[in-house]
Amino acid sequence: MSSSHLSARFLRSAAVTALISAAMFVSPLTTARADDATHTSRHHAAEMKAETVEQRIDNLHSALQITPNEETNWSGVAQTMRDNAAKMEKLSAEKTDTAPGSMTALDDLKTYEKFAHAHFDGLKNLLSSFETLYTTMPDAQKKVADRVFQSFGRERAPSHA
């Protein structure tokens, strides 16, 4: 496999993860430091949480054009999304329960590590469930899925003009 193919595959995997489980990708440091965040950071975090996991599931179900025959495999993807979001919410709640200013730099890094592990584990689970769905899709629908993931985030990217 060529380096460019692996790079493209990695980028696509990252896009899949971002699209399917956006709740997992609220920056760990943003979440972990909510008590120290500026108004702008709080506003950004609130915007990211505005879409619930159920809304993301519904939106992705529609965008991928999931058919009745694919519902069984889709339910595995949807449940993985719910599980991943629940794990991240639990970590966020644990961090929120920590008294502001009581964490050392090491504690902060350990918190970041917990979020990173949760992201990684969530990605592995998501990849497994999504692969089961994707491999059973007809080629035309795979192309739809590819476009959905390749275009994710481009419409929301800030302008540098």
Question: Are 66 and 37 within 8 A, CB to CB?
Answer: no
Q: For the chain, what's the residue count?
A: 161
Q: pLDDT by residue (tens digit) across 29-54?
A: 434 444 444 344 444 454 555 579 99
On average, the pLDDT of the chain sits at 76
pLDDT at 1: 56
Helix axes 71-96, 105-136, angle to 10 degrees: 170
Neighbours of 144 (CB within 10 A): 14
Q: pLDDT by residue (tens digit) across 101-142?
A: 888 889 889 989 999 999 999 999 999 999 999 999 999 999
Question: Are 53 and 82 within 8 A, CB to CB?
Answer: yes
The percent of residues in the chain predicted with pLDDT above 70, rounded, is 63
pLDDT at 97: 82
Phi/psi-derived region of residue 31, left when phi > 0, alpha when psi is between -120 and 50, beta in every other case: alpha
Which of 118, 49, 132, 46 minimizes the C-alpha distance to 84?
Answer: 118
